[in-house]
Amino acid sequence: MIVATMLYLCVVLIGRRHWSATQSMFGVFHFTVRAVSLFVIGLSCCFLIQRNDVRADMTAERLSTLSPETLKLLREIKVENPVIIEAFISPNVPEPYIQTVLNVRAVLGEIASRCKNSVTVKINEIKPHTQEALNAAQRYDIRPQPVRFAARGTLEQSDIFLGIAFRYGLKTVTLPFIDRGLSAEYELVHALSSIVDPTRKRVGILVTDAPLMGGVDYSTFLMRPSWRIVDELRKQYTVVEVDPREPIVEKYDALLAIQPSSLGPQEMQNFVGAIRNGQPAVIFEDPMPLPGFSGDLPGTAAPRRAPGGGMAMMMQQQSPPKGDITLLWELLDVSLNGDRAVWQDYNPIRKIASLPKGFVFVDRTRADEQNAPQPFDSKDAISSDIQYMMFAFPGSVKQSTRPNSKITFSPLVKTFRDPAGYVTVSNLRRLRSETEIERYYEIEPSQSELAVHIQGELPPLPSQPLEEGQTPPKPEPVKLNVVLIADVDMISNGMFELRSRGTEPGSGINLNFDNVTFVLNAIDSVTDDTRYLTVRGRRPAHRTLQEFDRQTATIRDDASSKRSEKQKEFDAEVSASEEELKKTEEELRKQYKSGNVGENEATVRILTKIASIQKKMMESKEQKERELEIALEEADVELNKRIHAIQSRYKFLAVAIPPIPPLLIGLIVLIIRRSRETEGVPKTRRRK
């Protein structure tokens, strides 16, 4: 409105020289009243629009438009008193968090507009170390969070606020921090629905060797927290522990079982009995859980850990017996080989080129680009909106061929890239380097199923003994509803951390894994709570500078190729040194067996030679590691320089180009006006 008023004044001032003497006397007052009236009209329109909250999403990506499922949830909110939503947001945030702040503000604005009578939204812009920050910490435990981000090639840290508090009566729900990897729409709508809806379904956590509920870590004698999947479930469900040492007779809306192969014989029978009785369940079974992800958890075919952790190993306690996991596979009409882990030759994170092929990335977009088989089931609500997942050395689930079976087997997630196949867990545990493991990779022509949805009917349960005169009830088939996922690491706390951080804009590394979304969808599906299935997977896509992204992607690909080459050279040299050590040891042992040297002399020679080679190998390895580190650092510096040069060029063009069109227009207008001023004037009267 200010721009329109100023343009009008410019037009008035330009035409002022054509006013007559009478117009000059009254013109100033007349046009001043006009300009003030125009400004008042514009200001009144702004107030009217603001009070009536006329909103229109003009973005091509519909960034401020809520999904139909979210609108349905908002319409279903019925409260006696308004829900108060207080947002605490820093006025200035680092570049990687700008999109997150925009998403949060857009969703809050839509909620306030759609729920005027039931929700009150207040956005507070606060800074750390202020009275407002102290009030937020005391009232809602919302504190500034330290975030690290890359800026001009250096790693920087900043403390920012991005927390939301919901109040309804005496109840309070707090989101301490919405990180950039989270869906703002899902987090806000989920918290709003949970505070106004007191009814909750029950999810049982089966007690296995996986410490989901936390407890004492006997290897360190410290308390360990519960897994973050449990904290996430508590936002929506009532979570209880289920002890399989006794028959599971109580029915839960869903039963979550992590690594049931670690159960004892009686516990396994009780668990299989619960599934046989129609208990809906989400089961995770992993042939090779990684210690860095899932802790000290035994694989499917590995023996159980003795109770007591490291102390039990020192006391040489025997491992407790394991139950027969094939009882569960026979019931579900599937098979899962406990000595096979899946691999796939696809790594989208080129900056970590040395990542083993056992880290299986499943990417819908990449599969579409390469016309590869679709990795996700688009017909099942659990996986229909999933885009990108990562598994760590997962297993493979296959359907059995039991005759007259009424069980349907729906693969939710499959490998999509060729080549892909399996490697035995025994080789993975025996070998160390990826170069050695690659020799044992077996290729499979078909896709491997990493997660499946098993539904159908089981035969009726045996009838109970009847008293005299009772009529036997009509036998009814048992409903089966189970989601089986052949990886435990994909639900670990590390995946939650990656989910929270998401992808830093401009980094070229995509960490927006949908693992947590997939697991929550699976639990919602078996509990028949489908309110958030679509909302949870929705991610607004902000428009970026496509030409800039294309150029920087090319630079990053070149840098990644150089890093990969340096890493391969390093691995090859280390493998060569290890092979030399093995050959030397074998030659010395052959000399001993041939009788050329005595036992003591041979032992001394072998140990001396091995020590000498190991010393040289360690020195060479340390030198190569330093050279590799320097080479990678130089590649990163060169990458940042080239990206910064492109950024500077586009910034200069963004500043230099916009003034050119109006300057050209002004020059053309000046030339035309000068030429018109001389029209009809005799040459003798023109200024020379």
pLDDT tens digits, one per residue of 522-580: 999 999 988 888 888 777 666 666 666 666 666 666 666 666 666 667 667 767 776 77
Residue with the bigger pLDDT between 629 and 104: it is 104
Q: Does the pLDDT value for residue 205 go beyond 90?
A: yes
For 392, the enclosing helix (H) or strand (E) is strand 388-392
Q: What is the pLDDT of residues 378-402, one digit of tens each?
A: 899 999 889 899 999 999 999 987 7
pLDDT at res. 413: 95
Q: Which two tokens stand for residue 429?
A: 């545990």
Instruction: Determine the Cα–Cα distance for residues 652 and 118; give it in Å rounded to an integer.
Output: 49
pLDDT bin (cut points 50, 70, 90) of residue 282 is very high
pLDDT at res. 645: 79
Q: Does the pLDDT value for residue 610 go beyond 80?
A: no
Residue with the bigger pLDDT between 127 and 29: it is 127
Lowest mean pLDDT among 164-168, 263-267, 366-370, 683-687: 683-687
Across 212-237, average pLDDT: 79
pLDDT at res. 182: 80
Across 252-262, average pLDDT: 94
Instruction: Determine the Cα–Cα distance for residues 561 and 653; give it in Å rounded to an integer.
Output: 30
Instruction: Determine the Cα–Cα distance for residues 675 and 381; give it in Å rounded to an integer.
Output: 71
pLDDT bin (cut points 50, 70, 90) of residue 600 is low
pLDDT at res. 335: 92
Across 278-304, average pLDDT: 87
Average pLDDT along the chain: 81
pLDDT bin (cut points 50, 70, 90) of residue 251 is very high
pLDDT at res. 340: 92
The contacts of residue 196 (CB under 8 Å, 6+ apart) are 77, 78, 79, 83, 168
Residue with the bigger pLDDT between 349 and 191: it is 191
Instruction: Determine the Cα–Cα distance for residues 270 and 333; give it in Å rounded to an integer.
Output: 18
The contacts of residue 284 (CB under 8 Å, 6+ apart) are 257, 258, 259, 485, 487, 488, 491
For 594, the enclosing helix (H) or strand (E) is helix 546-594
Q: Does the pLDDT value for residue 330 go beyond 80?
A: yes
pLDDT bin (cut points 50, 70, 90) of residue 680 is low
Across 509-517, average pLDDT: 84
Q: What is the pLDDT of residues 135-157, one digit of tens each?
A: 999 999 999 999 887 766 567 88
Considering the chain, what percentage of its residues have pLDDT values greater than 70? 75
Q: Does the pLDDT value for residue 114 go beyond 90?
A: no
pLDDT at res. 161: 94
First to last CA, the chain: 45
Q: Does the pLDDT value for residue 312 go beyond 60?
A: no
Residue with the bigger pLDDT between 171 and 598: it is 171
